[in-house]
Amino acid sequence: MSESQQQRLERLQRLKLQAQQLIANQDPAQEPVPLSPEIARLLEDLRIYQVELELQNEELRRAQQEAETARARYQCLFEQMPLPALVLDAAGQVEHCNAGATDLLGPRAAYTHGDNRLSDRLARADRGRLHSALRNLTVEQPQVLERLQLADRQVESQARTMDGHLIQLDRDFHIDRKALLLLVDREAEIARERAQRFFSSILDGSDNPICATGTGGEFLVANRAMLRFLGRSTEEVLGQQRERFVPLRDAALHSEADLRVLETGEPVMLEERISGSPEGELELVTHKFPLRNAEGRIYGVGGISTDVTELKHQQGQARLSESVFLMASEAIIVTDPETRIVRVNPAFTAQSGFSEESVLGHLASFLKSGWQDEVAYQAMWEALERDGRWAGELRNRAADGRDYAVWSSISAIYDDRGRVARYMSIQTDLSALQAAQSQVQRLALFDSLTGLPNRALFEDRIRHLLAHAERHGEAFAVIFTDLDHFKEINDTLGHAVGDELLRQAAARLRSSVRGEDTVARMGGDEFVVLLPTADHAAALLVAEKMLQTLSQALVLDAVPEYLPTASAGIAVYPADGSDIEQLLRHADIAMYRAKQAGRNRVVVFDAQMAAENARIFAIQTDLASALLHGEFRVHFQPKFNLSTGRMVGAEALVRWQRPGLGLVSPADFIPVAEKSGLVVEIDRWVLNESLRQVGLWQRQGIWHAGWRVAVNQSARDLRDPSMLREVEAALQLNGVVAGALELEITESALLEHTDEVVRRLAELSALGVTLAIDDFGTNYSSLSYLSKLPVQVIKIDMSFVRNMLLNPSDRVLVETIITMAHNLGHQLVAEGVEDPAQRDQLLALGCEVGQGGLFGWAVNAEEFARQHFQQAAA
């Protein structure tokens, strides 16, 4: 209301009062006093004022009504407004609160009555802030609209989170020292913001490029990885089409996929290969899916890309490893650190016969055969722990129970922390290899006929033995053994029988020694036995036992009870030799002695034998030069007819005029020459020389026409294809008829009567040469087999002649030989006749011819002529 209006109203009131007094002073019975003009004017004014006043009252009422309406509207507005609101006085007491506020804070009684204040319901820290806000609002800066944010507080009693704005709305509130507090419940908003932050940090925290595009292909969202991938900032990307940043071809691919998602509403997987990125070629897989709003309408496409370059690479590697694992020809076994089998490959199944299922979960030792050395296993584990790897031979057990050897390479596989995660064993089956190897080894090291070690293996063993004996100062023995008469058996009964004899002899020799001893076949019928740590006495015992075991009767094809024998020689390290060659040579020499001493015996080597051998060696080397230098001579020994007492011929016997040594007997060098093969040339020379001499004597007329000159021939001569021609040539050259020549062949040489030898004898016989068997009886030849040979003369060995007077059995033997020989049509010559009693006895037994000291010793041609031709001539 204005000031003037008030004054006016007061004036009108005064006027009204004056008028009323005037009327009251008038007598009602009296005619109304005519009104003075002044009063009339006053009344008139009063009426006007009254009208004005009424008008003004009306206006005031209307204004009041308007104010009331506004207040009610405000009250309604306050009550109904969606924001919780409070009216506080300066002390913070709540005067009003609307429904929203009670919803938020609870029933108003709790903070509107008595001393209850809103601040009691606030967090302690915020109480102060509220008060100072109220103070500022009402006292210090009353005109300033102040905004206070009380963020994120706890209203203690309700434990609710809320956010408040304290706002001065109206001056009136200020005047009245009131404040309107609007409470905004930002809980949902904060939750949304949080969710937003949460999802953004997830998005940005992801290494996978993630984006969302709208239906028009524009970027709605792109996470940090995507921005990095595009090389752009958020601002540059959002709202823009992909085509602006991505090569067109790739963009088209994405747009196409997006379109599919938009059309079908189904997720799509997009694989792409991106070249030209800073990391080189990349392989990405993008999972695209529809983005739907609350109504389910699709408003865009989400995409999460994964860089699968490494994964693909690893997959490729894994596929490669897997196929290597599956296709490998070696068995592969993978175990956990406790050696429990976790995988095996097909090659393992093929190798062992165990299926994968049957071994999974088993300890690897399940495959172990009982043959494996525990020490070897221990060494394996030590190596695995120390180096993480081991390789070596193992023996496995197969499903069928057989055990087999494998070459196993085991490696530990470690995890990121360096702990063993797996063991992998790659196993190569050695069975085939070993079979082949052992076959080769057998062939190389063992004699195929007897199964005994051969010379190579023997030499290897003796080498080891020697080294060992040297180190430890020990002795060991070598026994050289040679079967007696093996050659004869082989030649007469055939090779199959000979082989059988060798097999049986080998088995017997083997059985008569201990496991650690070596019995080797050196070739032919020669065996060597190695006795570790044996001295002479021990070796002798073993050798004798060996010969005894050997000499049990055995069935040999046609021979039901053959008694095999052998001769053996012993040499002992270090007494008889310090190296292998020497030991073997000395054992051989001793064995040779045993043969010479009559076979079936053992001879221990001694130094004298070595000397003898040295002598033989010297002979051997000198023989060749002896031929060249004409050091041989021929001596002649006469043969006499025992009944007539007349000379019937002579035997030519070779002598060696050895420089410095005088005349050497053929007994000393012929055996040596036989060994070296030089005997053929010596015999050829003797034949020529003898025939030359006889031819000369013939021409001198002192060689009787009926006489024969006997020349000795060795077995080797008979095997020489040129022999017949040589004989013919020698006869022809010296003008001697074949009938004047007799060839003496030792019985032992004839044992070897191969077809070739028999044919040669027949040819010589046909030529007219007389053939004699020398030293008959010393070998075990039967007369019946000799009868098959074209031989005319048999020379009884001088050992029988010598003993026949002393030993009745020798006499019987001589008698038998003579009788049988006669029955077979042979002529007989007795050797070594030294005294007349022998001659008489032989004569009595029917022997035709005698040779020996009694009739004349072997002498040179000159002496022979002097001694015998006068006599003959006489």
Q: Other CB atoms closer than 10 Å to residue 58's CB: what's the count?
A: 10
* 775 in contact with ligand C2E (CB under 6 A): yes
**C-alpha span between 146 and 141 (Å, rounded):** 9
Among 490-498, 499-507, 750-758, 827-835, the segment contacting Mg ion (CB under 5 A): 827-835
Choose the one of ligand C2E, Mg ion, none that binds residue 667, judging by a C-beta under 5 to 8 angstroms depending on kind.
ligand C2E
Q: Which is nearer to ligand C2E, 132 or 665 (CB)?
A: 665
Contact pick of 484, 500, 774, 848 for ligand C2E (by CB under 6 A): 774
Among 507-515, 581-589, 810-818, 827-835, the segment contacting ligand C2E (CB under 6 A): 827-835
* 831 in contact with ligand C2E (CB under 6 A): yes
What's the closest the beta carbon of residue 499 comes to Mg ion, in angstroms? 33
Structure tokens that stand for 135 in this block: 């103070």
What's the closest the beta carbon of residue 631 comes to ligand C2E, in angstroms? 14
* 714 in contact with ligand C2E (CB under 6 A): yes
**C-alpha span between 168 and 570 (Å, rounded):** 135
**CA angle centred on 163, ends 158 and 165, rounded to 5°:** 125
Choose the one of Mg ion, ligand C2E, none that binds residue 291, judging by a C-beta under 5 to 8 angstroms depending on kind.
none
Helices 607-628 & 666-676 angle (0-180, nearest 10): 80
Coil vs helix vs strand at 85:
strand
Structure tokens that stand for 608 in this block: 């004298």
Which among 84, 225, 230, 55 has a CA at the least distance from the CA of 155?
A: 84
Is the CB of residue 577 less than 8 Å from the CB of residue 583?
A: yes
What's the closest the beta carbon of residue 864 comes to ligand C2E, in angstroms? 13
Helices 495-511 & 536-550 angle (0-180, nearest 10): 140
* 856 in contact with ligand C2E (CB under 6 A): no
Among 191-199, 466-474, 706-714, 761-769, the segment contacting ligand C2E (CB under 6 A): 706-714
Q: Which is nearer to Mg ion, 457 or 849 (CB)?
A: 849
Question: 829, exposed or middle or buried, with CB in 10 Å at 0-12, 13-18, 19+?
Answer: buried
* 231 in contact with ligand C2E (CB under 6 A): no
What's the closest the beta carbon of residue 778 comes to ligand C2E, in angstroms? 10
Count, in order, helices (H) and strands (E) of the chain.
33, 32
Contact pick of 613, 698, 712, 781 for Mg ion (by CB under 5 A): 712
Write the CA distances from 705 to 506, 644, 697, 735, integer angstroms: 56, 17, 11, 13
Among 67-75, 159-167, 806-814, 845-853, the segment contacting ligand C2E (CB under 6 A): 845-853
Q: Which is nearer to ligand C2E, 577 or 666 (CB)?
A: 666
For 571, phi then psi, to 5°, come to -130, 140
* 774 in contact with Mg ion (CB under 5 A): yes
* 744 in contact with Mg ion (CB under 5 A): yes
Q: Which secondary structure element, helix H or strand E, spans residue 517, and what is its range?
A: none
Contact residues for 467 (Cβ-Cβ < 8 A; gap 6+)? none
Contact pick of 119, 504, 712, 781 for ligand C2E (by CB under 6 A): 712
Q: Which is nearer to ligand C2E, 92 or 852 (CB)?
A: 852
Q: Which is nearer to Mg ion, 155 or 794 (CB)?
A: 794
CA 197 to chain centre: 59
What's the closest the beta carbon of residue 651 comes to Mg ion, in angstroms? 6
Structure tokens that stand for 221 in this block: 């969202």
What Rg, from alpha-carbon coordinates, does the chain have?
A: 71
Choose the one of ligand C2E, Mg ion, none that binds residue 764, judging by a C-beta under 5 to 8 angstroms depending on kind.
none
Among 6-14, 74-82, 770-778, 850-858, the segment contacting Mg ion (CB under 5 A): 770-778
Among 59-67, 546-554, 766-774, 833-841, the segment contacting Mg ion (CB under 5 A): 766-774
Among 114-122, 301-309, 729-737, 824-832, the segment contacting Mg ion (CB under 5 A): 824-832
Contact pick of 222, 793, 858, 861 for ligand C2E (by CB under 6 A): 858
**C-alpha span between 789 and 313 (Å, rounded):** 92
Write the CA distances from 279 to 222, 305, 704, 858, integer angstroms: 21, 16, 122, 113
**CA angle centred on 424, ends 421 and 425, rounded to 5°:** 155
Structure tokens that stand for 192 in this block: 């949304």
* Sign of the CA dihedral with 212 first, then 218, 221, and 227 last: positive
Judged by CB under 6 A, the number of residues near ligand C2E is 26
Choose the one of Mg ion, ligand C2E, none that binds residue 714, judging by a C-beta under 5 to 8 angstroms depending on kind.
ligand C2E
**C-alpha span between 796 and 832 (Å, rounded):** 9
Q: Which residue is nearest to ligand C2E (CB)?
A: 852
Q: Which is nearer to ligand C2E, 205 or 853 (CB)?
A: 853
What's the closest the beta carbon of residue 850 comes to ligand C2E, in angstroms? 9
What's the closest the beta carbon of residue 677 comes to ligand C2E, in angstroms? 12
Contact pick of 744, 781, 789, 864 for ligand C2E (by CB under 6 A): 744
Among 342-350, 453-461, 557-565, 831-839, the segment contacting ligand C2E (CB under 6 A): 831-839
Indicate the pairing of strand 566-573 with strand 602-604.
parallel
What's the closest the beta carbon of residue 469 comes to ligand C2E, in angstroms? 42
Residues 636-695, interacting with ligand C2E (CB under 6 A) = 637, 653-654, 665-667, 670, 679, 683, 686
Q: How many residues appear in the chain?
A: 874
**C-alpha span between 863 and 620 (Å, rounded):** 29
Q: Which secondary structure element, helix H or strand E, spans residue 435, and what is its range?
A: helix 431-445
What's the closest the beta carbon of residue 436 comes to ligand C2E, in angstroms? 51
What's the closest the beta carbon of residue 869 comes to Mg ion, in angstroms? 22
Among 498-506, 672-680, 724-732, 826-834, the segment contacting Mg ion (CB under 5 A): 826-834
Contact residues for 687 (Cβ-Cβ < 8 A; gap 6+)? 711, 726, 727, 730
Q: Which is nearer to Mg ion, 352 or 712 (CB)?
A: 712
Q: Which secondary structure element, helix H or strand E, spans residue 357, and what is its range?
A: helix 356-359
Is the CB of residue 768 less than 8 Å from the CB of residue 737?
A: yes
Q: Which is nearer to ligand C2E, 164 or 832 (CB)?
A: 832
Alpha-carbon dihedral angle through residues 431, 433, 435, 439, given to the nearest 10 degrees: -170
Q: What is the DSSP letter of 232?
A: -
Choose the one of ligand C2E, Mg ion, none that binds residue 670, judging by a C-beta under 5 to 8 angstroms depending on kind.
ligand C2E
What's the closest the beta carbon of residue 748 comes to Mg ion, in angstroms? 11
Edge to edge, what strands does the sheet with 147-155 contain? 94-97, 85-89, 178-184, 160-167, 147-155
Is the CB of residue 864 less than 8 Å from the CB of residue 832?
A: no
What is the phi-psi region of residue 821: left when phi exceeds 0, alpha when psi lies from -120 to 50, beta otherwise? alpha
Contact pick of 832, 841, 847, 861 for ligand C2E (by CB under 6 A): 832
Q: Which is nearer to ligand C2E, 49 or 636 (CB)?
A: 636
Q: Which is nearer to Mg ion, 87 or 817 (CB)?
A: 817
Q: Which is nearer to Mg ion, 504 or 746 (CB)?
A: 746
- Enumerate binding residues for ligand C2E (CB under 6 A): 637, 653-654, 665-667, 670, 679, 683, 686, 712-714, 744, 746, 774-775, 798, 831-834, 851-853, 858
- Enumerate binding residues for Mg ion (CB under 5 A): 712, 744, 774-775, 831
